[in-house]
Structure 1
């Protein structure tokens, strides 16, 4: 009976996935121009707002993490501080890349990696100060305030993480993870190689979800009586953060709520970034529930802290 129910559940899940996939294919076929415009906008945002800020830091972070670890059993606060500094200041999804690499190096256990993944997740300073502060807010000081709000919220969550990890024995769970101690003769080349994979993942998800968000927004505004600007901002924010931020700027720039809306969208991240994190973290079976809770916390905390600063 149990096997029958499991099989039935699997069939139902498969059927739902097929319906969703074919539904999206039909939407793309019916609206090829809209899909193209969304993909083009996603590609432009990736090249203009993400790649210049993200690529150099990913390569440098990977290069540092590829260097042989002299003492994987160093004091916990040193390992946690290393994870926070490298992960939180590198931009999405550098935190996940950092935590994953530290697990592979034997510096973190799975339990540690799950909690630290949640805390070490923030947009890069160059993205917030350069793209958001200078180009969107037209005020570098507002960019600094937003960056500070993000890291205060992260540090509060990080302190909670330290409390939860206080009684952790720090044992490295090396099952199902390849932790062979290989001599890295060319860490820079390995860093560039692995960074290219991360960049391709980021580009693919940004362009796909930007295109999908554009198609769904047009379909929703056609089927229902809704404001296109509001619908586009909501849908794009759910699917792709950078496109959502750009849409919010186009439609809400002159509203008092604008900076807090941008803070909420950046804290929400969008499915594109979540998918990047999940793909990277699952390579070492990192627990993901703490990450989910941290996103909920950030959506509430970051705009509130920014409001106090503004």
Structure 2
């Protein structure tokens, strides 16, 4: 009943505020085309292509598979890490517990997004973008080593043998492009929907509580959708000294849109989201602190 009430409540809000919902959806769509699609699509296609290439070895060391997942997840952008881990799980290259821990560890924004869009365009300094990227990866590497330690002491640390390579049914590149369209559609849908939802709720909150519109908009958009959240923070708080730290905090939160993308992908392999939640709390705490120390 609660879910139905929430859904009908949101439908009514969208009907009452059609212009606001439209503006939020347009902003989300424009940011997806401008800031996400150019930076993310090439990595997703290449990652899928790499994962669909038949393995040349039937006995790959477990550490090599961990590093492969971590590298692809760290440099491919959201949600390439989740896609990589799930694909390796489906190919029997990772166990259930390994996949669940790596789902949390192999999770980072793409370097082109952080350096190009956030650093150069929003923060106005590529060097600051690099420092932010380094902060994110320091926190991720520390969590990755924690993951390795926990897996080493678990019952599932055994080496699993990769099945013998099967002849691919189609052309790997074409299969990669086909699968990438599904992922991109998921990303676009969540970004546009949560951008519209966050914009509508921000206006309602500001009107009901007399809260400053800039604070309400940035807080809710950052909660729902990271990309439009950092854009809103730039529009309203770029003159403040804490602005770079605020951007780091929003990036480390990721936003509900990205978490939903990961949850949908993880669901296809029946992976628990608990380690992922712990990993996100880890990032929210560490990334802004490390970034502040590097500034």
With normalisation by structure 1, the TM-score equals 0.91
Residue 288 of structure 2 aligns with which residue? 303
**Aligned residue for 2:263?**
278
Q: Which residue of 1 aligns with 2:230?
A: 245
Instruction: Identify which of 185, 190, 195 aligns with 2:180.
Output: 195
Say whether residues 1:82 and 2:59 are aligned partners: no
Alignment of 1:49-64 (within 5 A): 49-64=35-50
Distance in 1, Cα, partners of 2:249 & 2:145: 22
Match of residue 157 from structure 1: 143
Shift of 1:17: 0.6
- Compute the displacement of 1:44 (Å): 0.2
Check whether the contact 1:153–1:302 (CA below 8 A) recurs between aligned residues.
Answer: yes
Equivalent pair of 2:69/2:84 in contact (CA under 8 Å): yes
| Alpha-carbon distance between aligned partners in 1 of 2:95 and 2:10, rounded to the nearest angstrom | 39
Q: CA RMSD in A?
A: 1.6
Deviation per residue, 1:97-132 (Å, 9 max, x gap): 000111111110110011111111000000001000
CA contact (8 A) 1:65 1:98 kept: yes
CA spacing shift, 1:69–1:181, aligned 2, 3 Å: closer
SS in 2 for 1:284: coil
Give the whole-Å Cα distance in 2 for the aligned partners of 1:170 and 1:196.
Answer: 35
1:222 shift after superposition: 1.2
Query: What residue in structure 2 maps to residue 183 of structure 1?
Result: 167
Q: Show structure 1 runs of 4+ deviating over 2 A.
A: 70-73, 167-174, 179-183
Q: 1:170 aligns with which of 138, 158, 181?
A: 158
1:40 aligned to 2:26? Answer: yes
Alpha-carbon deviation of 1:148? 0.2
Answer whether contact 2:62 2:159 (CA < 8 A) is retained: no
The alignment status of 1:205 with 2:205, answered yes or no, reads: no
Task: Give the secondary structure class of the aligned counterpart of 1:165.
Answer: helix
Per-residue CA distance 1:124-163 (angstroms, 9 max, x = gap) = 0000010001000110000000000000000000000010
Structure-2 residue corresponding to 1:258 = 243
Q: Residues of 2 paired with 1:160 and 1:73: CA distance?
A: 25
| Cα distance, 1:229 vs structure 2 | 0.2
Unaligned runs of 5+ in 2: none
Aligned residue for 1:92, secondary structure, equals coil
Structure-2 residue corresponding to 1:21: 7
TM-score with structure 2 setting the length: 0.96
Deviation at 1:95, TM superposition (A): 0.4
Give 5+ residue unaligned stretches, structure 1. 1-14
Report the equivalent of 2:216.
231
Question: Matched residues in 1 for 2:100 and 2:210: separation?
Answer: 43
